Chains A and B, each alone.
Chain A
Amino acid sequence: MTPVLDIRSLARAWDGKPALRDLSLTLQAGGMLGLIGPDGAGKTTAMRMACGLLRPDGGEVRVLGLDVQRDGAAIRPLIGYMPQRFSLYPDLSVDENLRFFSELHGLSRDQRQQRRERLLAFSRLEPFTRRRAGALSGGMKQKLALACTLIHEPRLLILDEPTTGVDPVSRQEFWDLLGDLARGGMALWVSTPYMDEAERCGHIQLLHQGQVIAEGRPAELSASFPRRILRLEGADPQAVRQLVQAFAGVVLHRFGHSLHLVCDPDQEEGLRLALRQANLEAKPQPPTLEDAFFHAVAHGSLAA
């Protein structure tokens, strides 16, 4: 089956400084691919090139087999792009925004009516159709922007940090909507700096300084964290700090009342023993995606 999005060796430099190096990916219908990375990692650059808004220095982007550079006009109806900032007119009402974008895409009156109803129900914006977009809450703005992006029923949805600056509840709700879309057969490519959001993607790529430093399913990635984490409850941080000084490379993190000790696998036995002698019982803590991510950023990969 032709992938909805197929990117090969995409690269781009700004003023001679590489912003994106050798990005490759494939995305099938119904798939959700996450592009994870800190600010400045090259996420926006990659997405703008995929939409044809930016010319790549090298590599190619194909959407359903069509080359983005050559067949720009044919590709536009196939993709929906939601840029990082809110993409709607604050001085127009919810209805007027939806209407403008549907007219821009040349929908017939019947199609417009039908999709308007469906998208308003889907985004739960029906009670606010006459309200100006500028007067909506952050979460509602985001949903309206999504609705405007979906009005022409694209096959591929590209979302650049769609929930940055949105409250946690609205973020949850927004990602539920994205999940519905993927189940409906749409292909989604989403960038985010949030690890909890990344966990919801089928496949993620960790982008750092323009390079993919790790990729896979979220569970695989956290599982491939090469170190071990031991959790201590209610221990005195000062005492523990003293104790672990004997072990080179062990890192101590505090999480509320618990302490996380990050060590190499071959240190684990010795460390446990030392803790036990001090009457401290350490429990193994499964690594999270965040642990994997920080390790990959610090070491350039997930290798030990």
Chain B
Amino acid sequence: MGPLARLVQKEFRQIFRDPLMVRLIFLMPIIQLFVLGHAVSLDLKGVRVSVLDPVPGPLSRRLSQAVWETETFTPGPPVATPSQAEDLLVQGRTDLVLHFPVDLERRMRQGNGVLGINLDGRNSAQAGQALAQVQAVLNLEAARLASGWKGQAPRPGGVTLQPLYLYNPELVSRYQMVPAITILLITIISAMLTGMSVVREKELGTLEQLLVSPLTSRQLVLGKTIPLAILSFGELAVATLAAILVFRLPLEGSVLLLSGAVFLYLLVTLGGGLLASTVSSTQQQAIFTVWFFLVFSILLSGFFFPVANMPQALRWLTWMNPMRFIIEIVRGIYLKGSGPADLALPLGMLAAHGVGVFSLALWRFRKRVA
């Protein structure tokens, strides 16, 4: 075995010898995924539904009764005006408000009944599920009603809900969160641990020993990054299995494409960790440097807030953020089954970022320490 293989072997030996490291790498992500996953997949029960019905009639009464009779929903306080509906939602005294139009029956007979529904979007996943269930109940009941109107309408009974979310209008769902969390975990592992492990050798003085050994600086960089790349792929495998088995996410696209994209992304994070190590002389500095960039990357990645909703200036800024592209890619692969052709732009951007950052890191590393 050459010196590179020896260095990789030593890195693994050190990682697995440190019980904190092992827990950090393997246990924490699993806990995080489960906690976050559990938080967003709670079953709905006892959701309070209020009704805003300016002209109460048998039709609206029957529809709201149908909703209230299910296990999921219970009656909320009555609402008289739209502004009162908003107040109750903001104060948390009700969870959603059904808004019946005055001419509901006429519209339903024409086949295009539209109800307004106000929801609190802060708990996005719950709101999304509630909306879907109200819709299902109303459709069922409307169809029953319509069976008594035969012959009177060509497409009778259609009821559509027109949701109005307060806050979080884009409604991020668990399906969008879990793939993105996977990326976040990989980012932390690869960038932070690379930075820390290089700076640790600086602190110990062993880096200079390695530099005067026959190891070339390229071998040194590879020896430091390969073990963490391998661990990151392990992390990806665990998180992907958890996403499919525990969170029932449909993995529509190709695992191979997912791995390829993650490889490109790892060039960015491993390179970023190396760059952090060249400007840091203690592990704390390295962690802080990585953390600083991490926060901006997350906020500008579409992880929480869709890029499309950002102000123009920030939207331009996201082009400099590789995390934006990898999140776009994993969401595409998971949820839409996107292939390489659909993802050509983000893949290309990610490749450019990866090659750029890693080359820069290699060059800086050589210059700084050698």
Contact = CB atoms under 8 A, between A and B. Distances in A.
Contacts of B204: 85-90
B205 A85 contact: yes
A104 B208 contact: no
Contact of B205 (A84, A91, A96): A84
B206 A104 contact: no
A115 interface: no
A100 interface: yes
A1 interface: no
B9 to A, nearest CB: 8
A51 B212 contact: yes
B70 to A, nearest CB: 59
Interface in B266-306: none
Interface stretch (A7-15, A21-29, A75-83): A75-83
A73 interface: yes
Contact of B14 (A80, A87, A91): A91
A216 interface: no
Contact of A53 (B2, B214, B370): B370
A244 to B, nearest CB: 48
A111 B7 CA distance: 19
B13 A104 contact: no
Sort chain A's interface into a size bin. Answer: 20 to 34
A87 B203 CA distance: 9
A91 B3 contact: no
**Dominant secondary structure at the B interface:** helix
B212 A104 contact: no
Nearest to A72: B370
Given A87-B205, A87-B206, A76 B3 contact: no
Nearest to A158: B212
A196 interface: no
B248 interface: no
Nearest to B203: A85
Contacts of B216: 73
Contacts of B210: 104
A85 B281 CA distance: 14
Interface in B181-220: 203-206, 208-216
A30 B1 CA distance: 34
B212 A81 contact: yes
B103 interface: no
Given A96-B13, A100-B6, A100-B10, A105 B214 contact: yes
Given A53-B370, A86-B205, A104-B3, A91 B213 contact: no
A37 to B, nearest CB: 20
A115 B173 CA distance: 62
A130 B370 CA distance: 33
B206 A88 contact: yes
B147 to A, nearest CB: 75
A106 interface: yes
Given A100-B6, A104-B7, A76 B213 contact: yes
A167 interface: no
Contact of B214 (A83, A86, A104): A104
A77 B7 CA distance: 18
Nearest to A76: B214
B106 interface: no
A91 B18 contact: yes
A89 B369 CA distance: 19
Nearest to B219: A104
A129 B212 CA distance: 25
Contacts of A128: none
A92 B13 contact: yes
Nearest to A86: B205
A294 to B, nearest CB: 30
A52 interface: yes
A267 B204 CA distance: 53
Contacts of B370: 53
B215 A104 contact: yes
A103 interface: yes
B6 A103 contact: yes
Interface in B1-41: 1-3, 6-7, 10, 13-14, 17-18
A175 interface: no
B211 to A, nearest CB: 6
A85 B13 CA distance: 23
Interface string A57-76: 00000000000000001001
Contacts of B212: 51-53, 76, 79-81
Contact of A104 (B6, B17, B369): B6
B13 A101 contact: no
A148 interface: yes
Nearest to A132: B17
A180 to B, nearest CB: 22
A105 B210 CA distance: 10
Of the candidates A73, A89, A148, the one having the most CB atoms from chain B within 10 angstroms of its own CB is A89
Interface in A189-237: none
B209 A106 contact: no
Interface of B: 1-3, 6-7, 10, 13-14, 17-18, 203-206, 208-216, 369-370
9 contacts: A53-B369, A76-B214, A81-B212, A87-B204, A87-B206, A100-B10, A103-B3, A105-B3, A106-B214
Question: A-B pairs with the 7 shortest C-beta distances?
Answer: A85-B205, A83-B205, A103-B6, A87-B205, A83-B208, A87-B209, A81-B212
Interface of A: 48, 51-53, 73, 76-77, 79-81, 83-92, 96, 100-101, 103-106, 148-149
